[in-house]
Amino acid sequence: MTSYLNISGLKKDFGTFTALHDVDLDIQKGEFVTFLGPSGSGKTTTLMIIAGFEKATKGRLTIEGESISDLAPQDRNIGIVFQNYALFPHKTALDNVYFPLQMRKVKKTEGRRKAQEMLELVGLKGFEHRHPKEMSGGQQQRVALARALVFEPDLLLLDEPLGALDKNLRESMQIEIKRIQKTLGVTTIFVTHDQTEAMSMSDRIVVFSNGKIEQAGAPLEIYHKPGTRFVADFIGESNLITATITNVATRSAESALLGVMTYGDGAVDTLSGGQEVTLVLRPEHIKLSREPIAGCFSSTMTIETIVNFGDSALVIGHRDGTALRVRVPGADVVILKEGDDCYLNWTEDNVYLVTE
């Protein structure tokens, strides 16, 4: 499939420091792609190069086969929303949204009509004549989003746009942004370090680390089939068990912590006996019990801490000095006490293998 946005061999040096190492990525038309990673991983640098605010040391960017690498930011037809919204404080909501059309010499009557329609699309009908200081953070963000979309951009770039909002407003805006994106069908790149945002909003997640792409895939693929130890550790919670392959044919591995077990799947096709690997065991895939459960692999753990979230609880324990995490339904917490010894139980289908 021919990509809509192609990023090829993207490299960025800041003096002697290399922020991006030959990044390659294809994004399809209408996709909602999230760049996810810790601070300094390269996600925002990549976004700024796409926007034209940073110049790549080398590499090429194309939209529908046409290079945009040498175009100035204002010539790229890209809409951008930043965390601080960057609204004009002296302009009304309508004038803020109309501004990019004004810069493009769109007739005033037509431009203000389009601005009005876009404000209605983002749920701000009736707010046209308010100034930013008269609006909440969420409302200001909707104005910024409307302004970025009103001129029908080829790409929409969102750089940590929800970072300044409280939890409830943040969650409602996740839903709203996704709704608007789907309604308009605009190809969107969203930058965040928040895993929940990435998992709930994206068609595809691109995980960055140390200036490189660790893995790109659908949210559930990234979660259930991490390509590297970094991805397994960064996305969600994981118990990462160092083990050695004992039998490739039977998918068996032995760890000093949990003994011999078999794994259900892995991120590699070729393995050899004696090879050191990492086994990924998600906390929600483990069952706690007073006695071993028949048909499961089992091991013991001493409970240290129980963190109650209401609908679920995170049980943190240790075995031989190593921390282990288990997530259980909230109703099960009443039978658990800190200091208790219990059994961990899992099946091979719950174990995923990575080698990097």
How far apart CA 225 and CA 291 sit, in angstroms, is 30
Q: Mapping DSSP to helix (H, G, I), strand (E, B) and coil, where does residue 343 land?
A: strand
Question: Do residues 154 and 66 lie in contact, with contact meaning Cβ atoms separated by under 8 Å?
Answer: no
Q: Of the given ranges (184-193, 235-244, 327-336), which has the lowest mean pLDDT?
A: 327-336
Q: Taking 90 as the threshold, does the pLDDT of residue 311 lie above it?
A: no
pLDDT of residue 285: 94
How far apart CA 252 and CA 229 sit, in angstroms, is 19
75-97, pLDDT tens digit by residue? Answer: 999 999 987 878 999 999 999 99
pLDDT of residue 93: 94
In this predicted model, which residue has the larger pLDDT, 330 or 106? Answer: 106
Task: Let me know if domain 5-229 sits in CATH 3.10.450.50.
Answer: no
pLDDT of residue 70: 93
Instruction: Report DSSP letters for 114-152, one per residue.
Output: HHHHHHHHTT-TT-TT--GGGS-HHHHHHHHHHHHHTT-
Q: What pTM was estimated for this model as a whole? A: 0.91
pLDDT of residue 22: 93
Q: Taking 90 as the threshold, does the pLDDT of residue 249 lie above it?
A: no
- For all residues of the chain together, what is the average pLDDT? 92
How far apart CA 162 and CA 89 sit, in angstroms, is 20
Question: Domain map of the chain by residue range?
Answer: 5-229, 237-354
How far apart CA 164 and CA 118 sit, in angstroms, is 23
Partner residues linked to 158 by β-bridges:
81, 190
Angle at 3 between CA 191 and CA 181, to 5 degrees: 45
CATH number of this structure's domain 237-354, picked from the four choices 3.40.190.10, 2.40.50.100, 3.40.50.300, 3.40.50.920:
2.40.50.100
> Which band of pLDDT confidence, cut at 50, 70 and 90, is reported for residue 178?
very high
Question: In this structure, what are the phi and psi dihedrals at residue 117, rounded to the nearest 5 degrees?
Answer: -60, -40
Contacts of 191 (CB under 8 A, 6+ apart): 34, 35, 43, 44, 47, 157, 158, 159, 160
28-47, pLDDT tens digit by residue? Answer: 999 999 999 999 999 999 99
Partner residues linked to 313 by β-bridges:
308, 328
Q: Of the given ranges (202-206, 215-219, 329-333), which has the lowest mean pLDDT?
A: 329-333
- Contacts of 240-243 with CB under 8 Å at 24 or more apart are 240/278, 240/279, 240/280, 241/278, 241/279, 241/280, 241/281, 242/276, 242/277, 242/278, 242/279, 243/276, 243/277, 243/278, 243/279
Question: In this structure, what are the phi and psi dihedrals at residue 264, rounded to the nearest 5 degrees?
Answer: -85, -30
AA letter at 187: T
Q: Taking 70 as the threshold, does the pLDDT of residue 274 lie above it?
A: yes
